[in-house]
Amino acid sequence: MATMPSASRRSSQGRDAYWMPVTSKIEAPSEVASQVLFYSNYKANHTIKFLVSISPSGFISYISDAYGGRTTDAQITTESGILHFLESGDEVMCDKGFPSIESDLLDLNTFLVMPPFSEEQCSSSVTKKTKWVTKLPQFVFHVERAIARMKQFEILKFLERSLLDYIDQILVCIAFIVNHFSATN
């Protein structure tokens, strides 16, 4: 609790994770099947995508394996195994790419908290926690700051195809370094 940003410390009781998908451009794979898997229509480029979970203290608490850019946020969430780490009563904050996981979270007796622009897509009482949603900008700041620290690594700006086999290990190393230097600053 002492390392938590003051905005989180005041109102984070029960706030356990902030999930954000992160993308990174990659060199086009040589195989056609891989080109299709890694091509993101949204980014109009070949990309990898991975899920990052940020704790209320601003530390990276989970990083998924990398997936092809075409993979949806909900697919990464269910396939990555992050749901196994949730406990009854946990709350997860995430954005517009996640409304389809709400039923998975409710089955685990955990809660999905989304910004107001996503309430129409996600209609249960879970999203009606407006007192917390009004604090959203303070929390998003810490999430975006952690992601920005990861993206400072040149390797995530454009990944050569020869490194694709190692990307999962690279992501873990980057998350460790970001957390270590965040703790010492």
Report all structural domains of the chain as residue ranges with CATH numbers, in order of start: 6-184 (3.30.420)
pLDDT value, residue 134: 58
Note whether 108 and 88 are within 8 A (CB). yes
pLDDT value, residue 67: 96
| Its pTM surpasses 0.85 | no
pLDDT value, residue 118: 45
Length of the chain as a residue count: 185
Note whether 66 and 46 are within 8 A (CB). no
Distance from C-alpha of 22 to C-alpha of 151, rounded to nearest angstrom: 9
Distance from C-alpha of 53 to C-alpha of 143, rounded to nearest angstrom: 9
Task: Encode 42-76: b = buried (16+ Cβ within 10 Å), e = exposed.
Answer: eeebbbbbbbbbbbbbbbbbbbbbbbbbbbebbeb
pLDDT value, residue 144: 84
pLDDT value, residue 55: 86
Mean pLDDT, 10 residues at a time, the chain of 185 residues: 42 66 91 90 92 88 94 92 90 80 88 65 48 62 87 92 94 94 68
pLDDT value, residue 143: 83
For β-strands 39-40 and 15-25, DSSP reports them as unpaired
pLDDT value, residue 58: 84
